Chains A and B, each alone.
Chain A
Amino acid sequence: MAPRWKGKDAKSKKDAEAEALKEPMSKIISQLQSSFVQSNTCGFLSDNCVHLAVQGEQLDLLDKACFGRPVRIVEKDMYWFQLTLEEAFYLCYFLKCLEINGRADDSPLSNEELWRYFKSKKEAFPCFYKVYSHLRIKNWVVRSGAQYGVDFIVYRHHPALVHSEYGVLVLSHDNDADLNGRLSVWSDVHCSTRLLGSVAKTLLVLYINKNGQNDESPLCLANYTIEERTISRWSPEQCRERSVLTFLDL
């Protein structure tokens, strides 16, 4: 699928594409990483998400890199900001630019402690995080897919510049580990493909194989394997028309 840049006409779409090319996501994330490291940013566990106070450059970079959402302005220029579990863990564990407090003495939690805490909040966290990081590492922007009934929506760059092409579901590689309860019946396949199709997106399924690892520690992630598959409806009527046309061209 070709990327669908946003804009009211061909020119503004080209401008959006140019803007994305000028500032690739990898560069933005790298800037975010150094900015956060320098400022020793710290977040707080907040039930099913992570909160932090940010301002200025950091707020700007979080927005450009598409992490989280601002909750509210709390002081002059300072915002209360919210991250999902996956986003927070990615910043802490992979980008190593965020620390999270959760203790009385305000000392930061270790990655192992964070992992256990997040798992306790979300049983499927290990697989969801694996998918999140797998796609982020490839420099795709990954956001919640809740409004489309999927796990994630992915973009080639900032959602202000480009439409999302894929709705992502996280599944186990075999039927036994029923991670998500999704796509176990055909009605769900119909439902998901139709809904996503109506907003010009393809259903992308990421199958996780834990390869027998127990998920006590985030180190298990290295041994998870992922396979990507798209599930799409095929129309024999349309396909035939195309092949007949090709024949007529000869």
Chain B
Amino acid sequence: MEEKVCECSSNENSDYDDDEFYLQNASDEEDFQFSPGSLPKLQFRNTKSKGRWNEEMGMAELLEKNGKMWVTTGIVRKGKIYTSVEETLYLMELEAFDLLDNDDISISLSKMYEKVAGGKFGCCWELFEAYRHLKSLGYIIARHDVAWSLKSVRSSIKSSDLEGTEENKQLVDMVSKVEVSIDKLFGDLKINDLKPDFDVYLPNNRFRKSSPGDPNFLLYLSRGHPPSKAEIEVLERQCGGIPLKICLVTEGRVIFFSFDKVELPVLT
């Protein structure tokens, strides 16, 4: 009995506990730097695409398409491809996109940075950094609730549920809903509307804009403080069962957290 007590008192500080120390994710000690010099440049050679910036839309319209990245970049509307400010800037950073203004003059990279910094067009600097971090790792990213193409909207309506003119009406409603949301999203960024920022898909070379499927997770950029449980619930309600991740951008470092609901099992 006495021996047992000695054991107890010597373990008092560790309380029987493990002193198992190991550094998880040691590799994340290294910053994933994105300074232009250190980023491996994709070999675009003569495959620079060309587009025109549309200030009212807050998007670039693709004029000359070059390269394979268009499978996973830009939304399709009436046969044309449009890129968001973050998609545009990302490609410009890689020197894969020549962006023109209404007078056919090339828009400089710094002008584009200014556009992002302004926070208009539905994107801000931190959102762009989050976008760039994931995109350069091969993830496929869309603005939340913006359809990749109208074909994907059409295909999500089961024809068996509809009849004749009903189908047309439904289609028009869905399309107009999508278009309205685009106007809102590519307009001034409203910080206080709590909704996911991006729909994210894992790297996938079979991705098709006409039927993208459900995103693997939705991403919300934290605007200052960790979300309370109530705020997480507001966000999750808009996720339709798809996992939510919260990201945080500080000084170029993009960090992701999951705040997953769990239930510890009842043990015997």
Contact = CB atoms under 8 A, between A and B. Distances in A.
Interface residues of A, number: 62
B17 interface: yes
A176 B23 CA distance: 35
Contact of A198 (B22, B232, B255): B22
Contacts of B134: 236
A140 B264 contact: yes
Task: Give the interface SS of chain B, mostly helix, strand, loop or mixed.
Answer: loop
B30 to A, nearest CB: 11
Contact of B262 (A188, A198, A230): A230
Across the A-B interface, give the 10 residue pairs with the lowest CB-CB distance, nearest first.
A159-B16, A24-B268, A139-B267, A234-B256, A207-B229, A175-B228, A138-B266, A243-B202, A173-B229, A163-B18
A11 interface: no
Interface string B217-261: 000001001101110100000000000010010100001111111
Contact of A70 (B5, B133, B205): B5
A184 B134 CA distance: 27
Interface in A230-245: 230-240, 243-244
Given A184-B226, A240-B137, A234 B1 contact: no
Interface string B134-147: 10011100000000
B266 A227 contact: no
A237 B260 contact: no
A185 B17 contact: no
Interface in B179-230: 202-205, 222, 225-226, 228-230
Task: Give the interface SS of chain A, mostly helix, strand, loop or mixed.
Answer: mixed
B263 interface: yes
Interface string A45-80: 000000000000000000100000110010001010
Given A175-B230, A229-B259, 13 more contacts: A26-B268, A69-B8, A77-B1, A143-B15, A186-B250, A200-B22, A228-B264, A229-B260, A232-B257, A236-B133, A237-B137, A240-B137, A243-B203
Contacts of A198: 21-24
B229 A233 contact: no
Contacts of A139: 266-268
Contacts of A244: 203
A79, A189, A232 pick with most chain B CB within 10 angstroms? A189
Contacts of B17: 147, 153, 159, 164
Nearest to A234: B256
A184 B261 CA distance: 19
A159 B202 contact: no
